[in-house]
Structure 1
Amino acid sequence: MMDSDRIYLIADMPGYAPQVGRLLSMMNYARHTTLEAVQHLNRQQLDYLLDARSNSIGALLLHFAAVEYAYQVSTFEDRGLNEEELAEWGTALDLGDAGRERINGHDLDYYLGKLEAVRNRTYDLFRSVDDRWLYEQEEFWYGKQANRYFMWFHVFEDEINHRGQIRLIRSRLPKE
């Protein structure tokens, strides 16, 4: 669904309401730059930790998929993650010590597959809503109101933030 010839255009996307398509085009650009930042990394590089409190590149990639999945559930199904979903995504959502311990040993294709599967579900879900859906409000952080547009902005804003970490980690990888 990501058209690399149109990656620098925030524009309507066929099959989506106008604002929804523009939101997806921004999400696609963020993902495009993430994929550029991790290309050709091997398993050891994906697992590398700068220090005892840092996240690995692999853990951050899985975090992107987990955040997106959690927002799918929250905004489209109006619920939190269930026990089965928490078993799959909870560690990647929280990261920390558990993430350092459990998220490792995977090659790049594993992480890219997770990212793609979750994004494909996002594409499918967004086909089912109109622009009004983006502006519906509900309680969000700290008891404040937010609309779904902001919530989905946060999905890729989080990715952009952590992509900076990925670039820093990549710049500090031991030379092979």
Structure 2
Amino acid sequence: MKKIFYSVTVLLFLGNAQAQSVIKPPKGYSENIGNMVTMLDDLKGRVTRSVANLDQEGTDFLLDEKANRIGAMIMHLAATEVYYQKYTFEGRGFTADENEKWGAALNLGDEGRGRLKDQPISYYLEIWDEVRAETKALLKEKDDKWFSKKASGAMSNHWAWYHVMEHQANHMGQIRLIMGRIPN
């Protein structure tokens, strides 16, 4: 019985797989950084595919008064990535101007609910695309030796970018949960 279950599970997985099945660095990146880029892009692609067709009601849907809108969460993913660009490549946090631009998205909550709405999902996805392009350009200039070095604080650059990746995975689950609650 176990063997049949395993075979069916593998067939179902393979039949529904949309992502690549191998993690390998894209051309022009060091091995570890390139592997991270592949994983970051895979997660971003899965988030993007799941939200790309949302209408305005779905983009701005609030599950409850403490929840965040899906558009705001996409902006949050972009803001988090920008923050880690500053942290790992420049050894700093946000300036006052950067905090004005990204703070509501980074922190979400009441300010995010008030400010991050009334834009189509494409607006948020385009911003995230721009941020990701900058991340990839910056990472392409670095090597695995840099990746293993400490960022400006206690964590290594590799750990910082791992955190960006796992942050995306956490919010992907949250976004999908909220999408399942949007009224038809």
TM-score w.r.t. length of structure 1: 0.91
Structure 1 residue 13 displacement after superposition: 1.3
Query: Identity over the aligned pairs, expressed in percent?
Result: 37
2:81 is the alignment partner of 1:68: yes
CA contact (8 A) 2:75 2:128 kept: yes
AA aligned to 1:154 is H
CA distance in 1, matches of 2:169, 2:19: 19
CA distance in 2, matches of 1:8, 1:116: 23
> Partner of 1:132 in structure 2?
145
Superposition pairs for residues 30-69 of structure 1, below 5 Å? 30-69=43-82
Alpha-carbon deviation of 1:7? 3.5
Paired residue secondary structure (2:180):
helix
Tell me what 1:166 maps to.
175
RMSD: 1.4
Task: After superposition, give the CA deviation of every residue in 1:45-97 in whole Å (9 maximum; x if it has no partner).
Answer: 11110000001101100000000000001100111111111111000000001
Aligned to 1:13: 26
The answer to whether the 8 Å contact 1:9/1:25 transfers is no
| Pairwise CA distance, 1:112 | 1.0
Residue among 160, 164, 175 paired with 1:151: 160
**One-letter amino acid matched to 2:168:** E
Matched residue pairs, number? 167
Gapped regions of structure 2 (runs ≥ 5): 1-17
Give unpaired runs (5+ residues) of structure 1: none
Q: Assess, with a 3 A threshold, how the Cα gap between structure 1 residues 43 and 6 changes in structure 2: closer, same or farther.
A: closer
Kindly provide the amino acid, as one letter, of the partner of residue 87 in structure 1.
E
What SS is found at the alignment partner of 1:168? helix
Offset of residue 39 of structure 1: 2.2
| Structure 1 segments (4+ residues) deviating >3 Å | 5-8
Q: Which residue of 2 aligns with 1:106?
A: 119
Please identify the structure whose Cα radius of gyration is greater: 2
Aligned-partner residue type, residue 135 of structure 1: S
